[in-house]
Structure formats: structure tokens, C-alpha cells
Amino acid sequence: MILTVTPNPSLDRTYEISSLVRGEVLRAAEDRVEPGGKGVNVARAVAAAGVRTTAVLPLGGPPGTLIAELLGAQGVDVTVVAIASRTRSNVSLAEPDGTVTKINTAGPALSPSESLLLLESAGAGAATASWVTGCGSLPPGLPQRWYAELVARVRAAGARSALDAAAPVLRAALAAEPDLVKLDTTELAAAVSRPLATLGDVVTAVRELRSLGAGAVLATLGPDGQLLSDATGTYYGTAPAAVVRSNVGAGDAALAGLLIAGGSGPRALASAVAHATAAVQLPGTAMPTPEDLRPAEVRITEDLPLTLRLTRPAG
């Protein structure tokens, strides 16, 4: 069982539009309401793969109630930590070329008692989990070292931990030695405080994070593929995407794919690449099912093309 912890979940509404023009009345060809947040997306992808998953979420108000209902309908078990404030709502505007404009709110502040209950609920669930993920931004009221405390509780329960968070929060958690951290190129550049222009730069940055406490690092590089470095080696994976409809949630699908396949080694990276490639070809934050995957198109190598220049340099 894979347990996800999302301290700042959201109710996400996505509008598909022909183009984004400021100051104009825009007509949406389609709109969707979905439960959101990095950890929520991971749980949805895990459930879509037919693997048992539980999402631990602080939820409040009508948006929180709807998130729990939507996740339940998708096969995700939900552990609700009731909070006094209303769960946030976000809006995404998706264009045909895959460009997505997001409007995210900060989210409700959690009280000390709500924060503690969230940690206790995650620790209790970790006792029956193989992996526990801590994903996304921290809402007001939670200290930067909150994820470090989560990692400690997960380890005490006998499970492995994976983190996906912004650079300052992630760096604050590295001393707790999470088993895995996942970053995109922008987050990775921020975490090491320098630009990343080539795959070689990415490899050096990933190794630096491992030296600071990360057991393994998954770097998602957008159109340039993914890189995994763990105790078994360093691997690079790519797969073609026929069309990109939305890249929102692709990194979350990658993390889900990695964990579903055990969380380490080339087989796990191949699963991560297959899930992310399928996700970008789906609308909004839809998560891929096994029927959407094309594992035969994934290429994994240990012969790293270090001089490869990134399509989207970061930093």
C-alpha cells in the first residue's frame, strides 16, 4: 500500500480554451473539477494502476467534502484530518499546445493541533504502507521542517519515505534522510543554487542532494526525460509523446509510476517515464490507466549523454 500525505490539497477546476487573451471573454470548450495537490495526484495515479492507496488530507468546508467524495469515486481511500478553515480552490487554463496557466491560492492556515493530528495520522497509516509520500507546498502555520518530522515518523513506523516539495522545504528535510526525493529541473536548480544547462549539470546536482541526505533522487526533465540516481546506479530514461495536452500532474504520475514499480533501479524508472509520458497526453490532471501506457517505447540507459543540453535550462 502507498500512502500519500498532502498538507495543502485543493479543489481544482480546469478550463480548456483556444487561447489565453487578457481582458477578453474566453469560451471554454470543456471544464473539469478534480481533487488537486501533488500527493493527491500521486494517489490518483496509484489507484488508476490498480494498487491500493490512502490519501491523508487536511480537509474543511464544502471543497474538502467534495475532494473526499471525488477521490473515493476514483478508488482512493481517504483519511480525513478535519480542519476549521475551508480547503483552497485553484483554477487552470489549458491551451491546445499544452500551455497551462494556473491560479493557485495559498491555502488555509493549520493550527498547531491540526498540524500534529496530520502527522499522527500519517504515522499511524505508515505502519501498513510500503511507501509514504509527502508532497506539495506547506500551508500557513506549518514550519519548513514539517516534512523532516514526517520522514522521522515514517521511518519509526517501518515504511520508506518519498518527498516532492519546493527547494527550501526540501532542503530543510534532507537532514532527516528521506529515502527518495523527486524534483523537476527548476526545483533542482533552486535546491543547489546554480543554473542547470546540461544533463551533466543535472547529474552533479542530483549527487549533491544525495550527499546531503537523500537516499535516491528522481529528476523529471520535461521533454528531456527523467534521471534516477539511487544505490543501484544512475539511469536516464526517455519516451516519445505523440501530443502534449497538459503537463500538469505529469511529475506526480512519474513519482507514482516509480513507487508502483518498487522505487529503485531501471525497471522503476521505466515505469516512471511511461506514466509521465502517458499523463502529458491526457487532458487536465487526468492520471493514466494501464491502457494508456506504452512501456515498449521507453528507453533506459546507464550510458548518460552528459553533454546533452536541456530543452528548458533552469536557474
> 84: which DSSP letter?
S
Residues with pLDDT less than 50, the chain: none
Position 283 scores a pLDDT of 80
Annotated catalytic residue, options 12, 224, 230, 252: 252
For 51, 148, 238, 294, the CA distances from 56, given in Å and listed in that order, are: 16, 17, 32, 30
Per-residue pLDDT tens digits for 128-182: 999 999 999 999 889 999 999 999 999 999 999 999 999 999 999 999 999 999 9
> 158: which DSSP letter?
T
> 249: which DSSP letter?
T
Per-residue pLDDT tens digits for 37-75: 999 999 999 999 999 999 999 999 999 999 999 999 999
Domain count, the chain: 1
* Half-sphere exposure (Cβ direction) of 49: Cα atoms closer than 13 Å: 27
DSSP string, 168-206: HHHHHHHTT--SEEEEEHHHHHHHHTS-EEEHHHHHHHH
Copy the grid coordinates of residue 92: 487552470
Position 259 scores a pLDDT of 98
Q: Which helix (H) or strand (E) holds 288?
A: none
Position 50 scores a pLDDT of 95
The crossing angle, in degrees rounded to 10, of helices 167-174 and 146-156 is 40
For 58, 149, 205, 221, the CA distances from 185, given in Å and listed in that order, are: 29, 26, 10, 6
CA 309/CA 315 separation, integer angstroms: 14
Position 7 scores a pLDDT of 97
Is 31 a residue of the active site? no
Copy the grid coordinates of residue 250: 505529469
CA 166/CA 173 separation, integer angstroms: 11
Range(s) of the domain holding residue 70 = 2-19+28-314
Evaluate whether 174 touches 213 at the Cβ level (below 8 Å): yes
Position 241 scores a pLDDT of 87
Which CATH number is 231's domain given? 3.40.1190.20
Position 286 scores a pLDDT of 85
For 27, 28, 31, 311, the CA distances from 23, given in Å and listed in that order, are: 13, 15, 20, 31
